[in-house]
Amino acid sequence: MFSDELKKYDWDETTRQIMSMTAADVERALQADRLTDRDFMALVSPAAVPYIEQMARKSQRLTEQRFGKTMSIFIPMYITNSCTNSCVYCGFNCHNKFSRVILTMDQIKAECEAIKKLGPFENLLIVTGENPVKAGTDYLEQALRVCRPYFSNLTIEVMPLSAEDYERLTHSGLNGVICFQETYNRANYKKYHPAGMKSNFEWRCDGFDRMGMAGVHKIGMGVLIGLEDWRTDVTMMARHLAYLRKNYWRTKYSVNFPRMRPSESGFQPNVVMTDKELAQLTFAFRIFDPDVDISYSTREEHAFRNNMATLGVTTMSAGSKVDPGGYATFTDSLEQFAISDDTSPEKVVADLKALGREPVWKDWDKVFD
């Protein structure tokens, strides 16, 4: 399991190595055909800042080699904000006083129908809080079966499950799973996740192994930018990705690095990442793993997403609502966080086409399940 592998890497030593990288290290990484984790550290280090334009060109070239000029489009659907965790940065924190919503199957169906009116979406991300008793595997299985007739590709972002439960859900329409480790800093992890299932670092970290064991078609991973030093966190994630590719090589992978957004929790980021730094990170991941899908959500500003659409990003959300029932508007529930880009799907698509990108609504068919 990766939680054991992670013990080989000291957080402070990794930070020291990143900050000691030189221009020669960056140039060596840019010339390498296959990058090591040390090369990745060079590309996310301060020493790489003068090379960002060179990184952008290589990122663009690799992206177009592997993905062409396409941009996969998806939309998230929140089906419950009920949660037993007390994550200090999240609007769904169980101590926040607001009405909790668990959508019924009829309401989920209504959400599906409302989404289809927004555009020809085929890639749906189903998101929940973490409440295993009231919205556990049985509930997720029912939700997948309701959504399946409407969408060709179903991904979930939910509490970490057992390998047996992941495998079970693949027989109910599940194609992919996204899970955010939030931070790989084991020493500080409990500070941000003091109670609930999410407080168990090892269970969450090893969830990706369980997804791979279950034969999940696509695994998405990410860290939340704003908790710990971003360069060290993403280096740990790059190591995790390399480990998963080696052990579960049949699976496709995606990465996401959401920057912290305002929420009901009121938590203020410990680290603020600039647009330039996020661009540097995006280029570094593309060069490190040319085949990985890089996703930007509506946490990011519309103009910035457009700027990155030709340089390394391969998946974007559009028209997002981050509250349960937000599309059919039959509930008035709290959002998990505030979004930055409320641009309509039509405008998102038009802008992508103007940039020479081809929006892809569907890249998976039910016949392959």
CATH architecture of 2-361: Alpha-Beta Barrel (3.20)
pLDDT of residue 341: 78
Amino acid symbol at 71: M
What sections of 152-297 are H helices per DSSP? 163-170, 186-192, 201-205, 207-213, 230-247, 275-288
Cβ-contact 79, 111 below 8 angstroms: yes
pTM above 0.85, yes or no: yes
CA-nearest of 320, 300, 315 to 357 is 315
- pLDDT digit string (tens) for 154-173? 999 999 999 999 999 999 99
Q: Where are the domains of the chain?
A: 2-361
pLDDT of residue 322: 86
* 94 has a pLDDT exceeding 90: no
pLDDT band at 111 (very low <50, low <70, confident <90, very high): very high
Averaged pLDDT, 79-96: 88
The angle at the Cα of 320, spanning 224 to 167, to the nearest 5 degrees, equals 65
* 183 has a pLDDT exceeding 80: yes
pLDDT band at 264 (very low <50, low <70, confident <90, very high): low
Q: What is the mean pLDDT of the chain?
A: 94
* 332 has a pLDDT exceeding 90: no
- pLDDT digit string (tens) for 277-299? 999 999 999 999 999 999 999 88
Averaged pLDDT, 250-277: 88
Averaged pLDDT, 358-366: 85
